[in-house]
Amino acid sequence: MPNFKLKVFSNESWEKDFMAAYGDLLLKGTNVRIHNSLNPKERRFRVILNRCFAFIAPTSCEGISPAVATAIQASLYPIISRETAVTLPEGYETYLERYTTDEIVQACRDEATHTEDSLWKNPKTFQTLALNQYSREAFISTIRSYLAQAID
């Protein structure tokens, strides 16, 4: 995908398995940039994200992904696997089924051809939904509710 730029957010020292599997390919790519983990409160995070249109998470085993929640709260279109445990309204997501390079490339091409209006029917509504379902406050509230029911 030479016309796309892939930005990988990962601390290489934390992701030894990932780098062992894909590091050579990523480091040789002229259109690939590896960024260390970023704090969403930092200006640099917003600067980098302003150049992106999607977030790709082809994970095969993960709980509710904080990275996906952060990305959708930052208005990136999610191209994700169902194993991220993030459920979004129809039309606001692309779920990966096979996790192949071809599937991911096609999903990126498909979403890049959409206009912003069709890609994000209503970004503010979507961000609000994401914040309500996947924020720290929503998590704390849900856990408190579960604990209150378990203790009663």
- What pLDDT score was predicted for residue 118? 53
Query: What is the CB neighbour count within 10 angstroms for residue 81?
Result: 21
- What pLDDT score was predicted for residue 120? 53
Cα angle at 66 between 9 and 93, to 5 degrees?
A: 85
- What pLDDT score was predicted for residue 2? 53
Contacts by 112-116 with C-beta closer than 8 Å and gap 24+?
112/4, 112/53, 112/54
Tens digit of pLDDT per residue, the chain (152 long)? 557 788 887 776 767 777 787 778 788 888 888 888 788 888 988 888 888 888 888 777 766 778 888 888 787 888 888 888 888 777 677 888 887 888 888 888 887 776 555 545 556 666 777 777 777 788 888 889 989 999 87
- What pLDDT score was predicted for residue 126? 66
Give the residue among 111, 115, 116, 66 at the shortest CA–CA distance from 93: 111
- What pLDDT score was predicted for residue 33? 84
Prediction pTM value: 0.71
Helical (H) or strand (E) element with 121: none
